[in-house]
Amino acid sequence: MRSALGERKLPLINRGTYFRTKLIDLLVEEFVSEFKKCQIISLGGGSDTRGIKLIEKEKEVTYHEIDFPESAKIKKLAILNDPKLFKLVCETNFQSDIEPSESGLSLISESLSTEIESKEQFSKINPDFHSERYHLHGYDLRKLTDKDDLTNFQHLLKWVDSSIPTLVLSECVLCYLSPNENENIIKFWKMWNTSLISFLVYEPMSLNDAFGSTMTKNLSYRGLDLQTFDEFPSLNARFEFLTSKCGLINTKLTDMSDVGGYNNKGGLLHKPWIDTKELQRINRLEMIDEVEEIRLLLEHYCLSYGESSVDKEITFKGIDKWRWLLT
């Protein structure tokens, strides 16, 4: 409702969103800097524009987004109806369910720009969108747990390069799936990749405390069921799941409180991941009086990294540039 009325979100929420976006950007940029020719797979990309900005900046990166077909259709239409976006993502090899009648990038864009006037018209749109380095896939990730559906997943795999280093991103997506579905999805990508496959997961955790219980009630009130929230309530529980259950190596976890420099356990504040001057700028934009409140909130959000590689020599070395609470 706050967003619908055009009101600003609370500084506490904005600060958390900033940390989440900034830190994942840092890790993605480091991954790309280290491997150059690589691939990013975003699970449940939604309206995120990270991929579009990344392929504009980095010419050897391929970006994939996998989301529910309905969400993918909305994003696809947004790209098709914006000439600048279309030109940016469609350098070459554009393929679509809609066949343009004229050649030339501007004419293609114009011919594809169409307004959807009914649910029936919307339902007939192919959610997939493919260009040379940007791919949008309409697919329900939960189907990866159904072996009978794997044949229907080939439309994605034919666009994905299994031979180059790949980073799989999940920002508050896998937490909506069951632990078994989480395990199956991670193992699927491990099985498919013949190079380095890395996973970066951001999501909330309960910590089994009073604040976590309040978060659970608030989420339930909004009709949200985060299945990993209580199932893996701590960094230790998540570490055990990623290593023992999923078989990931070079596994590292931290919480956003430590990342932001708010963790004072043991009476010592650790250096934040973000540059001090940048933090000072954010502090001026979003004033927060209750430091303890933001520390408590950020403590309940974790960042997890793990990887699998057929060649033990191929690993993401840059991940060690930052301090992790658990390795």
Centre a 10 Å sphere on the Cβ of residue 225 and count the other Cβ atoms it contains: 11
How confident is residue 100, by pLDDT bands cut at 50, 70 and 90?
Answer: very low
The residue range of the domain holding 104 is 11-318
Residue 208 lies in a domain: yes
Q: How far is the C-alpha of 111 from the C-alpha of 323, rounded, in Å?
A: 50
Residue 265 lies in a domain: yes
Residue 287 has pLDDT above 70, yes or no: no
pLDDT in the model for residue 101? 31
Structural tokens at position 70: 């309905």
pLDDT in the model for residue 119? 81
Helices 210-221 & 291-299 angle (0-180, nearest 10): 70
Residue 5 lies in a domain: no
Beta partners for 62? 39
Bigger pLDDT: 295 or 202? 202
Sheet arrangement for strand 38-43: 129-130, 134-138, 61-67, 38-43, 166-171, 196-204, 301-309, 249-255
Residue 102 has pLDDT above 60, yes or no: no
Structural tokens at position 267: 């009476």
Smallest CA-to-CA distance from 198 within 79, 15, 35 is with 35
pLDDT in the model for residue 147? 59
pLDDT in the model for residue 151? 60
pLDDT digit string, tens, across residues 160-215 = 999 999 999 999 999 999 999 999 999 989 988 899 999 999 999 999 999 999 99
Q: How far is the C-alpha of 260 from the C-alpha of 273, rounded, in Å?
A: 7
Residue 256 lies in a domain: yes
Number of domains in the chain: 1
What are the distances in angstroms from CA 275 to CA 26, 253, 260, 278, 293?
Answer: 11, 20, 10, 5, 22
Backbone angles phi, psi at 69, to 5 degrees: -50, -40
Residue 255 has pLDDT above 90, yes or no: yes
Share of the chain above pLDDT 70, in %: 81
Structural tokens at position 297: 């909130």
Residue 323 lies in a domain: no
Q: How far is the C-alpha of 4 from the C-alpha of 287, rounded, in Å?
A: 23
Structural tokens at position 179: 């632990």
Contact 74, 203 (CB under 8 A): no
Helices 291-299 & 11-35 angle (0-180, nearest 10): 50
Structural tokens at position 163: 């031979």
Residue 300 lies in a domain: yes
Q: How far is the C-alpha of 200 from the C-alpha of 254, rounded, in Å?
A: 12
**Segment holding 291, helix H or strand E:** helix 291-299
Q: How far is the C-alpha of 104 from the C-alpha of 48, rounded, in Å?
A: 28
Residue 190 lies in a domain: yes
Domain containing 17 — which CATH number? 3.40.50.150
pLDDT digit string, tens, across residues 161-176 = 999 999 999 999 999 9
Residue 97 has pLDDT above 50, yes or no: no
Structural tokens at position 177: 């799936």
Residue 325 lies in a domain: no
Backbone angles phi, psi at 109, to 5 degrees: -60, -45
